[in-house]
Amino acid sequence: MPKKKAPQEGAKKVDSSNVMGLRPEVLEQPITETLELNYMPYAMSVIVSRAIPEIDGFKPSHRKLLYTMYQMHLLGGARTKSANVVGATMKLNPHGDAAIYDTMVRLSRGYGALLHPLVDSKGNFGKVYSRDMAWAASRYTEARLDGICAELFRDIDQDTVDFVDNYDGSMTEPSLLPTAFPNVLVSANQGIAVGMASNLCGFNLGEVCDAAVAYLKDPGTDLLEVLKAPDFPTGGELLYDEKVLREIYRTGRGSFQVRARWRYLKGENLIEITEIPYTTTVEAIMDKVAELVKAGKVREIADMRDETDLNGLKVTIDLKRGSDPDKLMARLFKSTPLQDSFACNFNILIAGMPRVMGVGEILEEWTAWRMDGVRRRTYFAMKKKQEKLHLLKGLKKILLDIDRAIAIIRETEEDAEVVPNLMIGFGIDQVQAEYVADIKLRNINKEYILKRIEETSRLEEEIADLQDIVNSPARIRKIIIAELEAIKKKYAVPRRTQIIYEHQVLDEPDPEEEIADYPVHLFLSREGYLKKITPQSLRMSSEQKYKEGDGPSQQWEANNRDELLVFTDKQQCYKTRLADFDDSKASVLGDYLPTRLGMDPGESVVWACVTADYSGHILFFFENGKAARVELSAYQTQTRRRKLTGAYSDKSPLAAAWLLREDMEMAVYSTEGRVVVFHTASLNPKSTRSTQGVNVMTLKPKYKVETARPLAQTPIQNPARYRARSLPVAGMLLREEDRAEKQLTLLE
């Protein structure tokens, strides 16, 4: 900073009279000089000492609070009143109790602003997703350090970081915390300084550790492959845009979209919002929705209320009859904070200078800083061992003549001369002589001394190993990698923010697009031809036309708004709306589904079902005797995704499939002529589409399951004969009276 200048030539002196007649002089100063001398120091103080985080991921206020709690033995200890922590922190942070407590609240588990909270809290700490939910005063709440803080303070007492004086010079504090993982990427942080700001989003701890390990092994690795996307403690859904994220990872600037997570309860005709974007609050969302309803821009909502309780966030929207939840949510995403953008600005202090960096640069800086910390820690341990080795070498010389050492001590008249006489008598230095002189009389025996000296060779090996680590960056990287892998194993949790890729994003519906609502009849042939016929057309002509060699396979009564799920012999499911098919007649072949749905070459239809709400289950029966009960909702997506792979198990060919609306008895037929009758309630539903199911029928090697049908649709007269007490069973041979086969004759 330039020195304060004398009044410039031409500067005016203004006289100002007061009521007592005194005339003090007032010196006019150029505004540029005032800014330079008075405002710039303040601006730099805000940037460096308050608002911008450093490479350990903390601002000074965070660091001072956590270090105070560490000094209070709150890591692994019992909780104490938050007021005690606030008061103790003022020895390092003199900005007032309110500011300190606000800092503690943001770091707490109760508030929920961090993916991995650093303060284990008890009591009301408010919620990050609520604007109006205030936290209790510090005298009511309790706190201690969370377990993960052990990784923030690892080896802090082994010279891993520098210590500096506090504001009044009465004690010291760490300039940085020796975080054993890249906390700067894990803990979300934001701050507004003078002329600049910082806004860091959080990332999943497991993915960050994997990314750091990958970077340590290969600095040129593609981080986006490992560090998939940001993660937020409030969950929600992140709309994945690879180009945008790559730019953020490269430059540290950019923004991406996050939206709320919701579900529709058909029976109650309401929408439940359970997770919202990190950047907004429940109150802001409800205010905006209420504004849209009052303005008449949203007419589908009957009521909206906040049902947040101890179980977590929940906003409920009651719908009017006939409202489409997908269309409503698409409109709300566009018009309310239910979908919001997060603007990234990865501005971090590096050696006291603010720098905007991409993820790769941040990992580079953190790696260099962490390697220096591990090197300092290793050097500290090596020096301790060298000091001990030095003492033992002096003890080894005493071993040569213990009696002489005793004689020197006994013959020395003054206590102050004992150490100098030992130094002269054995040729050792003062430190070694002090060590020998302080040995207890009971320890002056060969056994004790020999045991101490045996440590010499071990210490020399350990010192040589530590020296090698200090001089070997490759070994230091291996140590850091091992620590990161251990941290991931111990503390990593699954992602909270779901990644929604481009093909999963639901396009905003056209308000003018309305699907006609009317009943239809569907007919599917064995070769995959589908016809959609209205009841009026079917009454005029009900005789179905099929291709030569083809015939009927399935038929349904449905609604034009329903969806069709088509399963193929390659374990894939193709989804489409019935409204996408034109109304046809019984006299035409219909639409060829493999072509219409864009199936793979050689792929053919094996089964299909129609649904309006994805309620119920699908029963898959496989030729190997297994049956799987899969929830139909497992095939539901929030997007217009048309193709699902892994629609059912590929371990055995599919023998039959049925859409189950309610539990019933099923009859399973084998090629041996055996039948098993069982109740579907004995099969547990699965949400995994490709489940192999459970055995229901035991088969001999050359036989397989032929088909399966509801018992009510079979000619079986005596079902008790075939009922299974437990599964699996071999079944009973089908009797003649249960076949009900009719003799077929050719008509001339």
The residues that are catalytic are 140
CB 664 within 8 A of CB 681: no
Q: What are phi and psi of 411, to 5 degrees?
A: -85, -10
Residue 170: Cβ within 10 Å count: 9
Strand duo 643-645 + 572-577: pairing:
antiparallel
Say which DSSP state 634 is in: G
Residue 328 neighbours by CB under 8 Å, 6+ apart: 271, 298, 300, 301, 317, 319
Q: What whole-number distance in Å separates Cα of residue 432 and Cα of residue 426?
A: 10
Q: What are phi and psi of 201, to 5 degrees?
A: -85, 160
Q: Supply the DSSP string of 148-193, one letter for each residue.
A: GGGGTSTTTTTTSS-EEE-TTSSSEEESS---SS-HHHHS-EEEE-
Say which DSSP state 726 is in: S
- Token pair belonging to 593: 């589904």
| Among 485, 463, 479, 465, CA closest to 372 | 479
Residue 51 neighbours by CB under 8 Å, 6+ apart: 59, 191, 192, 193, 197, 198
Q: Report the run of H or E that residue 643 belongs to, with start and end.
A: strand 643-645
Q: What are phi and psi of 565, to 5 degrees?
A: -110, 120
Q: What whole-number distance in Å separates Cα of residue 138 and Cα of residue 435?
A: 51
Residue whose pair of structure tokens reads 């962490």 in the numeric block: 370
Q: What whole-number distance in Å separates Cα of residue 482 and Cα of residue 492?
A: 15
Q: Report the run of H or E that residue 611 belongs to, with start and end.
A: strand 605-611
Q: Beta partners for 80?
A: 143
Residue whose pair of structure tokens reads 């179980």 in the numeric block: 311
Mapped onto helix, strand or coil, the DSSP state of residue 565 is strand
End-to-end CA, the chain: 114
Mapped onto helix, strand or coil, the DSSP state of residue 606 is strand
Say which DSSP state 222 is in: -
CB 128 within 8 A of CB 113: yes
Q: How many Cα neighbours within 13 Å face the side chain of 167?
A: 11
Q: What whole-number distance in Å separates Cα of residue 13 and Cα of residue 19?
A: 20
Residue 314 neighbours by CB under 8 Å, 6+ apart: 272, 273, 274, 306, 307, 308
Residue type, 651: K
Residue 410: Cβ within 10 Å count: 8
